Amino acid sequence: AQSVAQPEDQVNVAEGNPLTVKCTYSVSGNPYLFWYVQYPNRGLQFLLKYITGDNLVKGSYGFEAEFNKSQTSFHLKKPSALVSDSALYFCAVRDLDMRFGAGTRLTVKP
Amino acid sequence: SAVISQKPSRDICQRGTSLTIQCQVDSQVTMMFWYRQQPGQSLTLIATANQGSEATYESGFVIDKFPISRPNLTFSTLTVSNMSPEDSSIYLCSVEIGIAEAFFGQGTRLTVV
């Protein structure tokens, strides 16, 4: 069965600095990988996905993620963080169904 | 994309009662799912709502506790039966469109007292 791990419960960065939210995965076949963001009292919003093709995937709000097959990782990145990026971020892997990581709370401080 | 309307958005219920949550999608979708999310925690898949047949439940979830209906390709309900405080959570409806892209409702925040 597929699984995904987010090793960091919390990530703190200063506004304007680059941010990385880590994700590693385990799946038997080719992975379908996703990042979602959840703002307080809101449902999940899709950010980006990797199905096939270029390892660097660009998504919403200036976010991107890099698929690394050898390291089984799919880290979320943004070159310059905004205070409004503060939210809960979930990595997910799709095989027979969607499995989510535990989530990483990103806090961007002014 | 898809627009998902989930009702109610929140409720406070007495233990021992049941609550039915509705999920309406603005287009026909094949795959529809129900998740539970404890506050500040990750999502746990409860079941896949199948149109025209019984829902497929994940380990730890049973039909008697979480009966699901899926009468057509745009609508589903999840009932939380005989509620206890441990059922306090956020319940999310989700649909998949295209290549495994999931969309979520706003969620139903349930508090059982």
Q: pLDDT tens digits for B72-111?
A: 999 999 999 999 999 999 999 999 887 667 889 999 999 9
| DSSP, res A31 | P
Q: Please report which confidence band the pLDDT of residue B34 belongs to, taking 50, 70 and 90 as the band edges.
A: very high
Per CB distance under 8 Å, which residues of A are interface residues toward B?
32, 34, 36, 41-46, 49, 51, 88, 90, 92, 94, 97-103, 105
Q: Is pLDDT above 80 for B1? A: no
User: What pLDDT is stored for residue B68 in this prediction?
Assistant: 97
User: What pLDDT is stored for residue A80 in this prediction?
Assistant: 97
Q: A49: which chain B residues are within 8 Å (Cβ-Cβ)? A: 99-101
Structure tokens of B37? 């999310």
CA distance B105 to chain A (A): 6
Residue B100: closest CA among A57, A31, A53:
A31
User: What pLDDT is stored for residue B98 in this prediction?
Assistant: 73
User: What pLDDT is stored for residue B91 in this prediction?
Assistant: 96
Q: Please report which confidence band the pLDDT of residue B40 belongs to, taking 50, 70 and 90 as the band edges.
A: confident
Residue B26: closest CA among B107, B97, B101, B98:
B97
Q: A103: which chain B residues are within 8 Å (Cβ-Cβ)? A: 40-42
- The backbone region for B60, taken as left when phi is positive above 0, alpha when psi lies in -120 to 50, beta otherwise, is left
d(CA B68, CA B80): 9
CB A41 within 8 A of CB B40: no
User: What pLDDT is stored for residue A96 in this prediction?
Assistant: 75
Alpha-carbon dihedral of residues A25, A69, A37, A3, nearest 10 degrees? -10
Residue from the list A43, A97, A98 with its beta carbon closest to the beta carbon of B107? A43
Whether the ω angle into residue A7 lies within 30 degrees of 0, i.e. cis, is no
Give the CA count within 13 Å in the CB-facing half-sphere of A73: 14
CB B46 within 8 A of CB B37: no
By C-alpha distance, the chain B residue nearest A105 is B40
d(CA B66, CA B81): 6
Predicted confidence pLDDT, tens digits, chain A (110 residues): 788 999 999 999 999 999 999 999 998 888 899 999 998 877 788 899 998 889 999 998 999 999 999 999 999 999 999 999 999 999 999 877 788 999 999 999 99
The residue among A10, A50, A98, A106 with the most chain B CBs within 10 A of its CB, best to mutate, is A98
Contact B100 A102 (CB under 8 A): no
d(CA A73, CA B5): 33
Average pLDDT taken over every residue of chain B:
92
Q: A43: which chain B residues are within 8 Å (Cβ-Cβ)? A: 4, 6, 92, 104-107
Interface size, chain A vs chain B, as Cβ–Cβ contacts under 8 Å: 55
